Amino acid sequence: MSTATLNAGNWVDQKKFLWLLGAPVMLLPIIGYALFELTGLGLFWWFSPLFVYGIVPLADYLIGEDTSNPPESVVPRLEKERYYRYATYLAVPLQYVSLVWGCWAVATLDLAWWAYLGAAISVGMVSGLAINTGHELGHKTDGFEQWLAKIALASSWYGHFFVEHNRGHHVRVATPEDPASSRMGESFYAFLPRTVIGSLRSAWEIEAKRLQRNGHSVWSIHNNNLQAWSMSLVLFVGLTAYFGWIALPFLIIQAVYGFSLLEVVNYLEHYGLRREKLESGRYERCQPRHSWNSNHTVTNLLLYQLQRHSDHHANPTRSYQALRHFDEAPQLPSGYASMIVLAYIPQLWFRVMDPKVVAHHGGDLTKASLQPGKEAALMARYHQA
């Protein structure tokens, strides 16, 4: 663990009010529309991806990393302070402001196809960011926060993430059984259908077993997946009925882009990492070394410190404000915003990340998770032990 901490008696959260930045980011499409009205420049219909893939990486580069950790003695106080939870609550209604605005824009304004698509992608990015909000809220045990998590996931039709992430991914992370853990040599475009289908199947199976244990039918109101999908259905039907059929393609495009944004983040979080299977047949406990970490300040502020993924998986009950940097955790070369762009270009991704996987495993690729069919080529090229 990093020793970059302060004495507990003098420690204050210097970023306390900066955590609120995760909420106004949900209004990026509306900010882009305002800039379009001011300038007449059509590129502002694409403001969300321009901001996330352009401005955020630049800010990460200029401001740099923060490896400091809160002293353990103040963590109980941090966990109890409701302010940090309220900061995440605020993002959810703003997410829906952008969604409804987007439906209004495509239904009311005479948009060219590229502006329509830009509005859908911009709002879809908000829906993708909202999955991260749902991720933080979904880890809580409070019933209100769990419902708020489902509401945050509704716009992307990814409500089953609430089940699969907590009771599937966290159990099987960095193992061959986990559809959300990518393999060395696997491109994002090969990973995407595998994780979407695998996660959906896993969520259904997990919930079916839980309901069977509790004496309920899988088709009952108690099914968390059905609850979440029903919310999405009501939302999409209601918005289409109000704004007209022209809003439906917009809603579908933004939902698909939104959940693909989640999955590209999943892709980079565990790439090539694998937990060892013990003699007992069980996998070793998840450690910080089984997740890629990043301490780039700006992206961490916007994503409620999701990039401190190593601590999140090793200690999933920790809230975002208390997550720690570990020196032994593998480090991404930059923040998520720029790593996503890299993942979209497989050859660049492999060139940057494959040597890092090799270095993390000390040259021994028998410890890495390798893409089936590419094991021989990867071993011949990189194996050093």
Q: Mean per-residue pLDDT for 274-303? A: 95
Enumerate the β-bridge partners of residue 370. Answer: 184
Residue 293 backbone dihedrals phi, psi, to 5 degrees: -115, 155
Q: How far, in Å, CA of 360 to CA of 193, rounded?
A: 27
Interhelix angle 113-138/91-108, nearest 10 degrees: 160
Q: Mean per-residue pLDDT for 353-368? A: 96
pLDDT in tens, 319-349: 999 999 999 999 999 999 999 999 999 999 9
Q: Tell which residue, 165, 168, 260, has the closest CA to residue 206.
A: 168
Q: Collapse the DSSP code of 283 into the 3-class scheme (helix H, G, I; strand E, B; otherwise coil) and give the result.
A: strand
Query: Which helix (H) or strand (E) covers residue 105, if one does?
Result: helix 91-108
pLDDT in tens, 255-282: 999 999 999 999 999 999 999 999 999 9
Q: Which band of pLDDT confidence, cut at 50, 70 and 90, is reported for residue 1?
A: low
Which pTM was predicted?
Answer: 0.94
Q: Which band of pLDDT confidence, cut at 50, 70 and 90, is reported for residue 365?
A: very high
CA distance to 90, 206, 211, per residue, from 225 (Å): 24, 10, 11
Q: How far, in Å, CA of 102 to CA of 120, rounded?
A: 7
Instruction: Flag whether pLDDT at 246 surpasses 60.
Output: yes
The share of the chain scoring above pLDDT 70, in percent, equals: 97
pLDDT in tens, 57-90: 999 999 999 999 999 999 999 999 999 999 999 9
CA distance to 2, 51, 132, per residue, from 26 (Å): 32, 12, 12
Residue 109 backbone dihedrals phi, psi, to 5 degrees: -90, 150
Q: How far, in Å, CA of 311 to CA of 302, rounded?
A: 18
pLDDT in tens, 103-121: 999 999 999 999 999 999 9
pLDDT of residue 3: 43
Query: Which helix (H) or strand (E) covers residue 122, if one does?
Result: helix 113-138
Q: Tell which residue, 32, 5, 79, 42, has the closest CA to residue 321.
A: 79
Instruction: Flag whether pLDDT at 122 surpasses 80.
Output: yes
pLDDT in tens, 131-159: 999 999 999 888 899 999 999 999 999 99
CA distance to 119, 258, 295, 344, per residue, from 327 (Å): 41, 32, 11, 28
Q: What is the token pair recorded at 290?
A: 């089984």
